[in-house]
Structures are given as C-alpha cells and as structure tokens.
Structure 1
Amino acid sequence: MPDFAIGESDFVLDGRPLQIISGALHYFRMHPDCWADRIEKARLMGLNTIETYVPWNLHSPRPGVFDTSGMLDLGRFLREVQSAGLYAIVRPGPYICAELDNGGLPAWLFRDGSAGVRRYEPAFMSAVTQYLRDVLEIVRPLQIDQGGPVLLVQVENEYGAFGNDQTYLKAIAEVIRNAGTTVPLVTVDQPTDAMLAAGGLDGVLRTASFGSRVTTRLETLRKHQPTGPLMCMEFWDGWFDYWGGRHHTTSASDAAAELDALLAAGASVNIYMFHGGTNFGLSSGANDKGVYRPTITSYDYDAPLDEAGNPTEKFHAFREVISRYAPVPDTVPASKPAAPEFTVALSDPVALLQGSGGTWSEHQEPPTLDDLDVRLAIFRTELRHGGPAMLTFGEVRDRVQVFLDGAPVGVLERERHERAIMLPHTRGRLELVVEDQGRVNYGPRIGESKGLIGPVRVGTEELTGWTACGIDLDRVPQLWHCAGPTPSALGIGPTAWRATFETDGESDLFLRTDAWGKGIAWINGFCLGRYWRRGPQETLYVPAPLLEQGTNTLVVLELDLLESPTATFTGSARLGFTDL
C-alpha cells in the first residue's frame, strides 16, 4: 500500500515529496451524475487532489438518520475521485461553514437548548461522536494506506475564529483517530497569530485559509508550524453572493498571480472553489455581522468551473500557472452549447392561505419554526379590537408577511431589523406567513432558533390563541394530488403553480426568475432552490440529469405576487450585476 506522511518540510508519498495541488468540489452541491465530469475537468486543469466538506445537517436531517443516498453518497464520490487518478482530502467538521445552513450543524441538535455549540459539552459531543463515526466508517477503507484516495482528514474548521476550547479540539481529534483514521490530521485557520494559536493543535498539521498576500500569510503560518509542509487549505479564488447584493467576481490574472506565488514557495494548495455548484433545496445559509444577509441559491463563486461546469477564464489562467510546477494534460475541456430557450404557462394555482400544504395545530402562543420542524409556516388568530393599532414582534427570523382577512398588509424583514407594522383595523382574521431564509453559518449566532421570537402584541396586549400550519415543502409538488386546485386569480399570499414542458433530457436548462417575486421552484419533484426578485441571481440552474426525455413538471411556490403566470427558460446563467 502507498505510504503517505508529513515530512520535515513536505508531504511525502512513498519516500518522495508531494506538492498537493487540490481543488474544492462539494459532492452535495452537484447532481451525482455530474460528479465524473467535474472531477475529470479538475484533472485536466492539472489538479492532483480533490477536497470536499461533509455536511452533517444534510446527511442527518433528523436525529438517528445518516442518509448517503443520491447527492449524499460520499463513498461513491470518493471512489470516482480515485477512478480519475486523483487523491482526496475530507473535511467532516463537524462545523464546516461553507455558506451552508447553520454551518452544516443540524438544527435539531439545538432545538431544546441543552446542547452547546462547538464546545466540550456532553450533549453536543455525544451527537458529534456518532456523526463522525458514521462519516469515517465511509472514509476509513478509502484512506491511502488502505488503497484508497484519501490523504488528509481535517479536525473542525477555522475554530480559531470562533473559540479557544482546546479540550474540545483534542476531543474531536481523538474521536477521529479512534474511528480508524490513520492518515495525517490537519486544522485550518485564517493566518493571524490569535486564530492559528486558538484553532491549532500540537501534533496536528496547521494549515491556513487566504486568497492574497501569499508571502506574508505563509510567514505567519510558518511561525505557528515550524516544521512540516506549508499549505493553504482554502485559497479563495472568488466569493459567494447574498440576496440584494452584487454578484462577486475577482480578477483571473490577480488570482493566478497569487496561485503562482503559492506554488513557487513550495506550498501545497486547495483552491476554494474549483467548482462551486448550487445550494439546491434550502441548503444555503446566511451571515449576520449586525445585518442579516441570506446567501443566494447559486454557489458559482466565480470559480474555474462555473455553476454549470463550464471552464472560465480562471480555469485557463490557473491551468497555465500549474503547468509550471506539475504535468498538465494536453486536453482542454470545451464549454457546453447554449441551453434551449422556451416559455411555458403556469396554471392550476393552489392558495396555501386557504389551508392546503400542511396540518393545522392549536397553540396558546406562536411556536417557533423549530417547534414545528418546518422552514415555512402560517399562523392564524382572531382579532376582536376594532380600530387601527400597531402589531409588534419580539424578533423576526427571518421574514413575516402580514394579512388581514386575506388581504396583504405588509412585510417585516430581519435584514431591515423590522419588528412592527401598523394594522388598518384590529377586527377579523390575522394571518402571518413566516419564513426561515437560511440559518447563520458563521459566528456566535450559529444554532439560534427560527420564526417569531418573543411575544406578538397588538398595542400593549399579547396575542394568544393561535392555530399554526407548518408547510411541508417536500409535499408542495404533490399538492394537486391531495387537494383540488383553489383558483386565485391574483395569487394573493403563498400560491403554488405548475407547468409541464417537453425536453430531450440531454441539455441543462436555466430557469428565469427575475420576473417573479420571491419563492421556491421544483423540477420533477427536485427542489432547485430559492429565487427572489431582489437578485443578484436571475436564473436557477437545472442540471440535465434532473430532466426526463419527454414530459417534465415545473412547480413554483410564489410567496409574494406573480405578475405573469409564465415560466421562461433561457440559454445561459444570469447571476446579476457585478457592481451596484
């Protein structure tokens, strides 16, 4: 079996120095039938290694579950990496950030408030231990000393930016080792003295995350890692986008120059991202550093491969740089042809405010979305006052639409720190549509609950006697099978629409969303993700493997207002303005 180790100044494979030239590919952000294509393109750019995070929350949506089907088949992904002749790096967290909902930590873990967050605490450690055992049962036989591709396993993730609990870090490393991990372990932190000290472990290789000022960053890392190879575990070659912001891009030539400096210094590198992919479903997270900013559905990241897997200017610039330090295949991948363009009518509206989509339950006070175990819910109560009054909330996480007797009153958003709205009258049916727009994935607000936090009041009086309907979003594409369509010409409030269209099942599609309001879309029952007129993203990516040769079904859940019940497919991605 191959022998891989950490040497005095290099990674050493079978007695020879190995400079790791890796790229990040997240298996959970790609359709599994696209994995081989993206991995092969990584090889053609000159990479010798593929890195991936492992998302605990996606594998374990409920306690006691560890799902490895479909897009979550980590074992299949690692075997495909090996089949392409590449090595692998696995970063299981348990916290991964990655702009993923809750940083990859499952929301159910914090539901009763008993578990700590990323610290040595019994409830948290018990759950983490089981999770890591589940992951490493897959990884263990795929380590390089077992004949597999895995070179390195990471302990936690940028922990120095969060805490300094060395007992916790040591315990995580011990769990990983006790689960049969024999390859070297690493940590990663941003290259500051404080973060490298707090997030590192003696006896575990420290690596860093940065995208510029290579010489200075490596000098800082070397102070904290006196021997062993230098590695940038996250070489940031782009950035992610948030709703209402611009589409982030970076200079291909500047990024290539920084990559050249890294490789010239003899450092190993993991390009974050090589291919970003897509936050399918409701997997995207959010940041809150004083202002809540939910992440968009696309995770294009301005990477060497775009969201649909086409090589970009960065692909060619990076490939040229890598060719100075390692063999690069002669073949250069071509871009796909433009996607088909067509328009179909949306029809058969089902209005969720009229009771479709979930089960109603009674509560004295509004439960949180966590209590209902949903991401979207309708709350209803009767007002018996009379004149105008102010409706107030303790805190809104993350968006509330207010209706009186079925008529819209307004919207409150966490992003704008809104907690109050005037009601024109206070007699009749009050309905609140409450939406979780993505859990914070970085910083001290990880693990917080969602929904209406604190009391709901009209004037000074707290409202009680509520009924709640948690919307099972997985069931939305089947609404027409369990309830007759409820005509709603204006589509007031959350309304589901559907359409059918024909394809050859061989081409990707790009669904235009900029003419709609805010909502979620599905193709053939698969959740493509969120859309929002706020942008910057104006299309949803539809991978060809989701499509059937012949008839396909599109379902749209519009939360605001659909100006025109029409779906348009366009020839390429539209990710928005690069400046505001």
Structure 2
Amino acid sequence: MPALTTSTDGFLLHGEPFRILSGAMHYFRIHPDQWADRLRKARLMGLNTVETYLPWNHHQPEPGTLVLDGFLDLPRWLRLAQEEGLQVILRPGPFICAEWDDGGLPSWLLADPDIRLRTSDPRFTGAFDGYVDLLLPALRPYLAAHGGPVIAVQVENEYGAYGDDTAYLKHVHQSLRERGVEELLFTCDQANPEHLSAGTLPGTLATTTFGSRVEENLAALRAHQPEGPLMCAEFWIGWFDHWGGPHHVRDAADAAADLDRLLATGASVNIYMFHGGTNFGFTNGANHKHAYTPTITSYDYDAALTESGDPGPKYHAFREVIARHAGVPEEPAPAPAPKLPVTDVDLDHRAPLLPYVRGLAAVRTGHPATMNELGLRSGYVLYRTTLPNSGEGLLHFAGGVGDRALVFVDGACLGVLERERHDETLVVRVPHAGAVLEVLVENMGGVNYGPRIGAPKGLLGPVSFQGTALEGWEARPVPVDDPAAVPFGAYETGPSAGPAFHRGTFEVVTPADTFLALPGWTKGQAWVNGFHLGRYWNRGPQHTLYVPAPVLRQGSNELVVLELHATTATRARLTDSADLGPENTW
C-alpha cells in the first residue's frame, strides 16, 4: 500500500491526515554542495515536502546510458531531503517543460524527424521505457514503500495543453507501475475544462496549476474531480524571463494573500518556485509562439529563495502564512549568505576564436548540415564555404538559422541573423570570387513548450549568393567543454574586435557567493575555474551571472570569457549583488 493515499477530501500519510506543503526546487539547477542548505531553508519556511522535475535529456545523454553523479546525483539529493525530514514529489516526465532545453527530451530522440513526440508512437514510448528501465532501480530505495522520502510521482506534465492521446498517458502510468512505483500517481494540468479533460486519467488523482484566482481555479478542479484532495501542483509565485524582455516579479504581499486563500480552503500546494536556481551552461530553454524567444541564464523566478539561495521577501511572507495554517519550526529564519568583496578581474590573455576553430577537424557535406545532423546537443558550429562570385548581392539562408548567426567574409563580420526576427537574408559585398564565407551559428536553447519542441539548430536549409546555391561546406563544432584547452596568447592592446576567448585570474581569501558583471562586453559565455556559468548578453534583462561559492577556491582563480562580438573593456567585475534588470510586476 502506498504511504500517501487519498480520502474524499484530502491526503493521508501512513493513514494520518496530511496536507502537502511543498516547494519546487530543481537539484540540477543548484550546485550539489548547496543542496543541503536549500533543503534546510525549505523546512525552516514551514514546508514538509519538496518537489522536483527529472531532466531526461541530461540523465540519459545517449541511448542506453544513465548519469547519476554531480548535478544529476538524484539519489544523494533524495537522501539529503530525507535527512532534513522532508517528503518528496518526483515529476519524471517524459516531458517536463521547466524552461529547460527541449523540455527535457533527449536530443538523440529528437533527431528522428518522423517521431511523434508525447504520443503512443512506439519509438517514443519505447525510448521512455528504456530510460525508466535504468532509472527506477536506482531510485527504488528512495520510494516511500522502501522507507524513502518519495511519496508521489507525476504522470507526464500538463499534457492537456499539448495533446489528447489517452492511450499514451495510460502507457506512461503503466510504465511506472510495472517498474515498481507503488506510490501515489497523479496528473497535473492547467485549470480549465479542456486541459483537465485531455490531460487526466480515470482513477488517477488530478491536480492543477495557477497563480491567482484561487477559488475559481479550485472550483474548476472540483467540477472535474468531485471527490479527492484539492491540490495546486504549481502555485506560480513568479515567472521566468526572456532575453530582451523585463525581469518579471510579483509583489510578495499579493502572492502571500493568494497562498493564504489557498490554504484556507484546506487544499494542498506546491509553490513554484520555492527556489529557482540557474540555467548553468547551455541548459536554458526557449518559447516559440509568434517568435522564438530564448530564456535567460538566471532562473531566479522571483522565488521565495533568490537565485543565490538567500531568503527574499516572499520567504518571510510565506512563512507567516504557513505559521497561521500549519505552524513552522521554532528555529529562526535563515540569514543571507556572505558575499565575496567586490573584485575586479583583468582579462589579460586572448585567443581569437576563428583561427582556433579553423584548425580543428571538419565535417564535409555538400549542403550545410544542421547541428542535429552533426550530432550536437548545444553550443556553436562554424560553417565554411567559398563564394563563387564577387560584387554586391543577396546572401539567402533558406529557412533561416537556428538560432543566431554571425556572418563573415574573409574574416570580416558583415552581419547577424536571428531566428527571433525571422531573418533569412543579408546584403553583402564580396571582394573577389573565391572569398571565404564563414557562418558562426549559436544554439540559444531548445523550445520547451508547444509543438516546436525539437526544432532543428544550425543552418536550416540551402544557402545561396546572387541566386547561386553554395555547395562544398565544412562544419566545425566549437569546443567549449574545456576552456583550459584554449590556446591563449598575450592580450592585444586596445579593444577586441571579433569572437575571442579572454582569460584572467583573481585572488580569493574566503570563497563566497558572487556575481559576475561584464560592463562593456556584448554577448557570450563565461567560466570560472572551468565551471560553465552560462550565457551573458548586454540585451538584458540579466546583467550579472551567479557564481556559486563552491566554484571558487582560496587563492588564485581563473575567469574565461568567450566574447562573440567586440568589447570595449579588458576587465570584468565580481559584485556582491545580482542585477537581473528592470522589473515588470505582475
């Protein structure tokens, strides 16, 4: 019998009435050395449960593999949660959305252009079954039936917003059951009749998602499900941000008032997000409705805990609300963590990107290959061919680019193409026949919601100049996994023009959280001691990158920046506060 069961109007845990007071935090967005701190802060706010997605694409980067270490050491995270006295809700997908690259679906699966995602297509369900065949034995000791903290597991994720293949949902449900998940299974959908009808399963608990209009949304759930617990499985207290947009925030008093209304009904809740964390590296997702809009590196989400794990205004406001309804620990609320003193970093070594990449092995094709065809999950590709004609003309990229491209002729940058603007053409002047065309394409993040999940990256079709198709392409992936391998030379005096890696060192007395600011820089990536902080862009709203304290070490530390454009600076700054940009209150 599962530890968590349902009655006509609530939950029972081991037979006793239990209200789920949960907060979302994604272990894969938090440095593992900070997991225990974040879990402790969840308990101190008054939560009795934590919830997390599982990113299939990272746990299984290749078919037949399973990664459970470092940021992906879910068993360790579950042990820490149990040691803190917290229950756990798992949301393994297959699809997770989560503003995560491709919604958590693996690139090797998306490489099949004919696969029907999130359906009963046996290519999709078979791949998921193979994944859980490996995953669930490793997680079984942490299920409540085996003495662990996991009391509930979600079936798919907001499926009613995507499709209506009930047989597919039944397959996911059965796949979990057949592999030993005895715990409570549930679905989660937005609170409207169409989504609830398409995304739920008879006999399986339905939950809903919303951020306001508490009574209205709970009534919609009750109309769909006349008996059983009422639960908001995602109570949205903030929102995510896109490059070029504002930083979304929600007034703490407003969010706390809605939480109060929700708890007053007797309903259970999962606060999304209790702690957002960071899209380190190339992990951010994107949306694509009318236009492609990539998500920023920070996943602060205006959550109860800030991106750096400090209690924010909502933490204290929610703690007061929870104290009125369920009580909170007698221990005091946690204080903000110490921050590194403001530190300037001179980036005094430079390695131009294009000469470095030109010396690497190439994949040769007649027409330009997509990143998917090249087997690349993320990052950059440098495409290269020659132009047969001279003079001014239209350079046409059929189908555009995925997702942003710098175009060079004989090493001179002549323009930028962006998927976001639906760019497909560029007027260029070619100095001579046989000039070298190079196109540096950046994957800005896979779409994580809607029908465009798995959209290809790189050059998306034939390229022509003055109406003549260009053939004989070379493609070179840009190596960004190990910045220590970059061949740095002496820094060239003056401003830097063109893509280049930049390197500098700085001293640390006592490691502490800090935030990397890059005034005067344009767009690129940053690493500290080889740890990939993620993407920066002066377009904003985000103007600092979070640097977790465990990334730093006492003594000498290294900063590496890959700048794609020009920079007017040779210096970066580590600051003691985040700058996530102009705020838009909702």
TM-score relative to the length of structure 1: 0.97
Letter in 1 for 2:128: V
CA gap of 1:223–1:379, structure 2 versus 1, over 3 A, is same
Match of residue 393, structure 1, among 392, 397, 407: 397
Shift of 1:97: 0.3
Letter in 1 for 2:502: W
Per the alignment, residue 337 of structure 1 pairs with 338
Per the alignment, residue 540 of structure 1 pairs with 545
Deviations 1:45-96 (CA, angstroms, capped at 9, x unpaired): 0000000000011112223221111110000001100000110000000100
| SS, match of residue 263 in structure 1 | helix
Which stretch has the larger CA shift, 394-403 or 192-201? 394-403
Preserved CA contact (<8 Å) 1:133 1:176: no
Shift of 1:371: 2.0
| SS, match of residue 371 in structure 1 | coil
Preserved CA contact (<8 Å) 2:211 2:235: yes
Mapped partners of 1:176, 1:563: distance in 2: 55
Shift of 1:358: 4.2
Per the alignment, residue 550 of structure 1 pairs with 555
Aligned pairs (5 A) from 1:359-508: 359-374=361-376, 375-394=379-398, 395-425=400-430, 427=432, 428-480=435-487, 490-508=495-513
Per the alignment, residue 120 of structure 1 pairs with 120
Per the alignment, residue 109 of structure 1 pairs with 109
Per the alignment, residue 193 of structure 1 pairs with 193
Per the alignment, residue 36 of structure 1 pairs with 36
Mapped partners of 2:218, 2:134: distance in 1: 35
Preserved CA contact (<8 Å) 1:239 1:249: yes
| SS, match of residue 421 in structure 1 | strand
Preserved CA contact (<8 Å) 1:436 1:450: yes
Per the alignment, residue 512 of structure 1 pairs with 517
Preserved CA contact (<8 Å) 1:351 1:495: yes
Shift of 1:115: 2.5
Q: State, as a whole percentage, how many aligned pairs show the same letter.
A: 52
Preserved CA contact (<8 Å) 1:389 1:426: no
Deviations 1:82-114 (CA, angstroms, capped at 9, x unpaired): 000110000000100000000011111121324
Per the alignment, residue 47 of structure 2 pairs with 47
Per the alignment, residue 569 of structure 2 pairs with 564
Deviations 1:206-242 (CA, angstroms, capped at 9, x unpaired): 0001000010100100111111101000000000011
Which stretch has the larger CA shift, 505-514 or 49-58? 505-514
| SS, match of residue 191 in structure 2 | coil
| SS, match of residue 411 in structure 1 | strand
Deviations 1:339-393 (CA, angstroms, capped at 9, x unpaired): 3101111122111211338422222111111122332011111112111000011
Mapped partners of 1:98, 1:78: distance in 2: 20
Deviations 1:257-312 (CA, angstroms, capped at 9, x unpaired): 11111111010000000000000110000001111110000000001100000001
CA gap of 1:251–1:527, structure 2 versus 1, over 3 A, is same
Per the alignment, residue 348 of structure 1 pairs with 349
Shift of 1:10: 1.0
Mapped partners of 2:321, 2:183: distance in 1: 29
Per the alignment, residue 298 of structure 1 pairs with 298
| SS, match of residue 388 in structure 1 | strand
Mapped partners of 2:544, 2:247: distance in 1: 13
**Unpaired runs of 5+ in structure 2?**
none
1:148 aligns with 2:148: yes
| SS, match of residue 389 in structure 1 | strand
Letter in 1 for 2:485: Q
Shift of 1:488: 8.9
Mapped partners of 1:286, 1:32: distance in 2: 25
Mapped partners of 1:35, 1:326: distance in 2: 25
| SS, match of residue 247 in structure 2 | coil
Mapped partners of 2:233, 2:134: distance in 1: 24
Per the alignment, residue 578 of structure 2 pairs with 573
Mapped partners of 1:245, 1:172: distance in 2: 36
Preserved CA contact (<8 Å) 2:247 2:581: yes
CA gap of 1:116–1:505, structure 2 versus 1, over 3 A, is farther
Mapped partners of 1:464, 1:94: distance in 2: 39
Shift of 1:34: 0.3
Mapped partners of 2:495, 2:59: distance in 1: 39
Shift of 1:484: 6.0
Per the alignment, residue 525 of structure 1 pairs with 530
CA gap of 1:137–1:407, structure 2 versus 1, over 3 A, is same
CA gap of 1:338–1:545, structure 2 versus 1, over 3 A, is closer
CA gap of 1:432–1:131, structure 2 versus 1, over 3 A, is same
Shift of 1:490: 4.9
**Unpaired runs of 5+ in structure 1?**
none
Aligned pairs (5 A) from 1:41-190: 41-190=41-190
Number of aligned residue pairs: give it. Answer: 578
Shift of 1:2: 8.3
Preserved CA contact (<8 Å) 1:513 1:540: no
Mapped partners of 1:419, 1:467: distance in 2: 20
Preserved CA contact (<8 Å) 1:234 1:269: yes
| SS, match of residue 300 in structure 2 | coil
Shift of 1:406: 0.8
Preserved CA contact (<8 Å) 2:350 2:489: no
TM-score relative to the length of structure 2: 0.96
Letter in 2 for 1:458: F
